[in-house]
Amino acid sequence: MPPIMLALHGAITLAMTALSPVPPALNEYSRGGRGRGGTLATMRRSAAAAVGRALADDLLLLEIEFPPLCETKTQFDDYSNTEVLDANRDFAVQLGLERELSAAAPDATMWMCFADDGESELAREAWPGTIYKEATITSISAAVSASGADPFKPFGSWAVKSKAEEEVAKAKLAPVAALQLIVQPGDGGPIEDWLNLELLRKDSTPMVCVNGALDKVTSGYYSNFLNPKLAQCSERFFTKFEQVYYCKPVGAGRGWLFRVYPEPWQLYRQTREELELVETYETRPKAADCTERLKRP
């Protein structure tokens, strides 16, 4: 093989085997958010690029999981669900503007579906600019209703009927979705959110779920006996999601599990000085396996 071809082959091989670095200042010993500015922006760009690669590979069910308060809080700090909802909302709205997602859903064909009508209204209030109005911002339930299906309603739903009807009317007037960006379903609200996602699913429309806690759904966290519909939905639907961007603590805070599609999974041990890469996996490792590996040198 000529030298130039050898060099090109080596460069391609290196590019194929190179691993994305963990986001900056992720170490939990950097407490109080010191030196963490820009971490979420780095995550957002990396997640958008991963979504773009997955869409190019014809994958349609995609998951993004990360700690949304990582710039200001550690996993050991106290925080409210309102803080998490607001952080996920802001991340998702800005994610929708990234080139890889906006190209997949131009104009108003990107549907940003929030957990309920109140969250979709807050999103419109928090991001009033013209560029953000180019997306269809609605709730999961309203999107299901607009599609002609009857959404699952949580027990004792507090939704204001007039507000719910208004959300559905807006969704019915919106262009057909080219991409569905789902923001924090279920985790912070009712399990009906997850059931409604399957109703919302269209065979040819990509669905990107941001911090939907799908681990809880697929791991049996919710009793299969007490929640048979969710268990069946998980088997049919949520087990098919591809984790295109995943960055979560594991092993009771001893480390992090990290993955950027289509790369292998990376397991990091957390020390005071750095995050140390200890293992890579071609398929997603179980939480128990990560914990056990972090105990070893």
Neighbouring CB atoms inside 10 A of 102's CB total: 18
* Contact indicator for 119, 139 with CB cutoff of 8 Å: yes
**Per-residue tokens: 135:** 């997306």
For residue 39, the model assigns a pLDDT of 92
Residue 189 per-residue DSSP state: B
Q: Hey, what are 144's tokens?
A: 């299901």
Compute the 3-state secondary structure of the chain and give helix, strand, coil in percent, each to the nearest 5.
45, 20, 40
Q: What is the pLDDT of residues 187-223, one digit of tens each?
A: 766 899 999 999 999 889 999 999 999 999 998 888 8
CA distances (Å), 155 to each of 52, 149, 192, 221, in order?
38, 18, 9, 20
CB 146 within 8 Å of CB 172: yes
pLDDT value of position 267: 97
What's the confidence (pLDDT) of residue 187? 74
Q: How far apart are CA 200 and CA 111, in angstroms?
A: 11
Question: Is the peptide bond prior to 262 cis by the omega test (within 30 degrees of 0)?
Answer: yes
List, for the chain, all residue ranges whose pLDDT scores fall below the cut of 70: 1-17, 30-36, 155-160, 188-189
Q: What percent of the chain has pLDDT over 90?
A: 66
pTM: 0.90
